[in-house]
Amino acid sequence: MSNEYEVYRTISLGTALQETLDEFVQSNQIKDKMAKRIFQQYDRSISKVFQSQIKNKVHFKSKLDIYRNCDNVWTLLFNGIEITFTDQQNQSIKLGQENKVKIVACEAKSDKKSKYNNNFDD
């Protein structure tokens, strides 16, 4: 039940796809509607993959500077961060206070409560 967000369009894979689709549209190899649909499918697929195939857990410790929540998108701004990957290697990355870190997070679960507002049949 993953929501589809466009947030992954800015990662390398997304920008590479955009470049390719732009080129296809510009050279009339595909219609812009098709390019749009491919991007929508990309949003769906990448959300699904991140939800189902990524098992590693990441812990991070930091000082929260600013946070905001708009349309289920959380933006957290930190001063410095220590990220630990809970895999077999337990690697960690540490960035000092002088580094600003921005985390954009979206709610993975759809809002179940809204479903219960539906009318019952009998």
Q: Return the C-alpha torsion angle 73, 78, 83, 86, nearest 10.
A: -30
User: What is the rounded distance in angstroms from the CA atom of residue 77 to the CA atom of residue 93?
Assistant: 17
* Residue whose entry in the numeric block shows the structure tokens 């049949």: 121
Q: Which of residues 26-55 bind other proteins (CB under 8 A)?
A: 26-27, 32-33, 35-37, 39, 55
The phi, psi pair for 69, rounded to 5°, reads -130, 120
| CB 110 within 8 Å of CB 3 | yes
- Which residues fall within 8 angstroms of residue 31, CB to CB, at 6 or more apart? 25
Q: Smallest gap, in angstroms, from Cβ of residue 66 to other proteins?
A: 15
Give residues 74-103 in contact with other proteins (rule: CB under 8 A).
75, 86, 88-91, 96-98
User: Does the protein bind other proteins through residue 63 (CB under 8 A)?
Assistant: no
* Interface pick for other proteins out of 52, 63, 68, 113 (rule CB under 8 A): 113
Residues that bind other proteins (CB under 8 A): 6-7, 9-10, 15, 18-19, 21-23, 25-27, 32-33, 35-37, 39, 55, 57, 59, 73, 75, 86, 88-91, 96-98, 104, 109, 112-113, 115-116, 118-122
